[in-house]
Amino acid sequence: NLQQLYDDQKLCDFTIKVDGKEFKVHKVVLASVSDYFRAMFDHDMIENQEDSTELKGLTEAGVGPLIGFFYYGTLRLNLGNIYDVMNAATFLQIIPAVNCCVQYLKNKLTFENAEYLLKIADLYSIPNLRSYYKKYILDNFLEYALTDQFLSLDSETLANYLSDDSLNTTSECMLLHLVLNWYNHDPDSRKKTARSVFEKIRFVVDGWPILYFAIHLEPFKSLPELKNLIDFADSCLTNHHTRFLTNDLMTRVRYPKKSLIQIGGKIKLTDSDFLDFPDVSLDSFEDSFRIAWHKNHYYHADLKRWLPLGASEIGEKRTCSGTLTEVNGNAVLCGGYIHKMDEFGDEESDVTDETWLFTASDCRLRPLPPMKHPREGHAAVFLNGCLYAIGGCDDFKLLCSVEKLSGENGKLSWSYVRPLSVSIEHHAAVVCKNKIYISGGFEQRDRESDKVWCYSPELNRWHKKKSMWEKRTSHGMVNINDVIYVMGGKNDTGILDTMETYNVETNTWTKLCTTLPWPTYKATTFVMGDKIWCVGGRMEMHINDPEELRSDRIEEYDPKEDTWSIMGRLPRKLDKPACCVLTLKLTSDGQFETDEIYPPEKQSLVHLFEWDELILLSVEDGWSMN
């Protein structure tokens, strides 16, 4: 074999000279691994005629390991020769060796040698090494913050790190502690840029304790611009209407992935639910009665399992059929049915006008102003700082009214906008290019629609667009890269598995060959990353079988691959849960963490996160709490 021929130095037909040393090799081997040598041998160059070449500017330390790589497939690298080998591999255009050098640099990269290795990367135009190092810092930020390099960072670079959602930290409290160390390392030169750094800490996420800790320290005590940060965070915590109105880094939970949130829905009672519903009559359990569920969950994307969301019940009431819409990093639960037990253990339900803000930082529901009209079967979207509730019904009649939740100066209120020209329920809505598009639904209790309407907030007008290929109600509708997808639903022909896309520029619909895994309606659909998730709903396992089955599936559609795959399942089969995707603060085990960074006499503050309602009153010598 070639290795043996090289070891025995037999049939060598070319000589490489470098640094006064000669390497006798085979042309066919050089041409197979190096674009430089292949070009030399393909042309009538003088080196080809003389069967030798001298590689000036390269070193034996760089070329020698490459010769071994040619014949043995192993590239021997160390921090002493990496520069020379990288130089030779780049000059000789040996791409596999260059890739090995890049991977070696990544594997050996540490906070101590980063400056040296990054210079090599810059010299040979390896941009992905700098992005890799940034990721390395973000993944190991708490360790990085203990180095001298961290203390020497300029304000712009540190602010860039702190603004990244993927920065790995246990809490914002810990980040504040570390940034204070950085500031105190050179306070005189960092005063002017202090705000640009401290404003990247998400004070609102960690709540009152971090604010009280900050305002008693420099530079927050003396710099007015930092006092303004604390005042802003205080307004967000004091008045949760501000959380609806504010799209600010300080209020956003820091985590690189989003989680699926489930609130309420209806379940089929089983014997295992008896302790959760002690007031329900025994007949209801025997009859497999369907009842609104009081338990709420989130789906941990890393652990791939559901975890309890906490006590987010709305008092003694339970909810289903509401809409849950992401709003500036939080979510708004709007309308639907409110369920409660009467004195005889039977469930009562009423269409509600209630609106609630779910805050992602502490997983709590807080009341917002009620809608002007109770509604369920409606659609809700968020656009340009306003939440729109569109159509639906109030248990007596279908609605054409549209109202929006908006405000300023920390005050929210609902107001009517231009109504639809038809009353409609169980339709779908999505935002695309600063306009609202709705499709399908019931125009009467038994008449499905294929119509599409577009609302322009600037003009306060609805325009009719080209109709879908099929009539649909209770279907899914999402926007990915300004392409609108609709899928599933139901019409007079049965439950649908078909999908269509809509081009807003050309006003055209296109049927897709791909279908849902099962005919499905009343599913929740949304975008997770660059893919579509279809959650729950009702499905028909066989086209010829009229029996409808409730689904607990979580299906994912990849538009690029044009394929569906199953991602998981709901905690249990649910009817009409309120779902959306939000960024929650997650840990590897699904639990929340805090850091005890406060002085010993104030350690108990850390545990106050668990209080339901908390008011802190600062006093000169300690704490007072109501």
**pLDDT tens string 232-281:** 999 999 998 999 988 888 899 998 888 899 988 888 777 777 767 666 66
- Name the domain count of the chain: 2
| Statement to judge: residues 194 and 77 lie in one domain | no
Answer yes or no: is 176 within a domain: yes
Q: Does 396 score more than 50 pLDDT?
A: yes
Mean pLDDT of 353-377: 92
Answer yes or no: is 456 within a domain: no
pLDDT interval class at 621 (50, 70, 90)? very low
C-alpha to C-alpha distance for 213 and 594, rounded to whole angstroms? 14
| Statement to judge: residues 134 and 145 lie in one domain | no
What CA–CA distances, in Å, run from 563 to 304, 515, 525? 20, 9, 16
Answer yes or no: is 271 within a domain: no
Whole-model pTM?
A: 0.81
| Statement to judge: residues 177 and 100 lie in one domain | no
Answer yes or no: is 243 within a domain: yes
Question: In this structure, what token pair is assigned to residue 286?
Answer: 């025997």
Among candidate residues 192, 224, 251, the one where a domain is terminated: 251
| Statement to judge: residues 33 and 128 lie in one domain | yes
C-alpha to C-alpha distance for 377 and 496, rounded to whole angstroms? 19
| Statement to judge: residues 30 and 88 lie in one domain | yes
At 27-79, the pLDDT tens digits run: 999 999 999 998 888 877 776 677 888 899 899 999 999 999 999 989 999 98
Cis peptide before 219 (omega within 30 of 0): yes
| Statement to judge: residues 145 and 132 lie in one domain | no
In this structure, the number of other CB atoms found within 10 A of the CB of residue 528 comes to 19
Query: Tell me, what's the pLDDT at 69?
Result: 92
| Statement to judge: residues 20 and 128 lie in one domain | yes
Answer yes or no: is 241 within a domain: yes
| Statement to judge: residues 58 and 77 lie in one domain | yes
Query: Tell me, what's the pLDDT at 531?
Result: 94
Q: What CATH number corresponds to the domain at position 204?
A: 1.25.40
| Statement to judge: residues 109 and 152 lie in one domain | no
Query: Tell me, what's the pLDDT at 589?
Result: 60
Q: 170-179, 206-215, 282-291, 486-495: which range is least confident on average? A: 282-291
Identify the H or E element spanning 180.
helix 172-185
At 68-118, the pLDDT tens digits run: 999 998 999 998 999 999 999 999 999 999 999 989 988 988 898 888 888
Residue 291: φ, ψ to 5°: -140, 150
Query: Tell me, what's the pLDDT at 603?
Result: 33
Residue 594: φ, ψ to 5°: -135, 170
Q: 107-111, 409-413, 512-516: which range is least confident on average? A: 409-413
SS3 assignment, position 252: coil
Higher pLDDT, 614 or 250: 250
Among candidate residues 192, 218, 251, the one where a domain is terminated: 251
| Statement to judge: residues 202 and 118 lie in one domain | no
Which amino acid would we find at residue 315?
G
Q: 16-30, 48-62, 355-369, 443-457: which range is least confident on average? A: 48-62
Q: What CATH number corresponds to the domain at position 105?
A: 3.30.710.10
Answer yes or no: is 238 within a domain: yes
Answer yes or no: is 292 within a domain: no
C-alpha to C-alpha distance for 262 and 306, rounded to whole angstroms? 10
Segments forming the whole domain that contains residue 153? 141-251
Query: Tell me, what's the pLDDT at 609?
Result: 35
Residues in a beta bridge with 382: 387
Which amino acid would we find at residue 590?
G
Answer yes or no: is 197 within a domain: yes
| Statement to judge: residues 22 and 124 lie in one domain | yes
Q: Does 361 score more than 80 pLDDT?
A: yes
C-alpha to C-alpha distance for 205 and 429, rounded to whole angstroms? 30
Q: 76-85, 289-298, 458-467, 567-576: which range is least confident on average? A: 289-298
Neighbour-count burial of 236, counting CB atoms closer than 10 A to its CB (0-12 exposed, 13-18 middle, 19+ buried): buried
Higher pLDDT, 487 or 571: 487
Residue 475: φ, ψ to 5°: -105, 175
| Statement to judge: residues 166 and 235 lie in one domain | yes
Among candidate residues 251, 268, 296, the one where a domain is terminated: 251
Instruction: Give every strand in the sheet of 379-383, ordered side by side.
Output: 379-383, 386-390, 402-408, 411-417
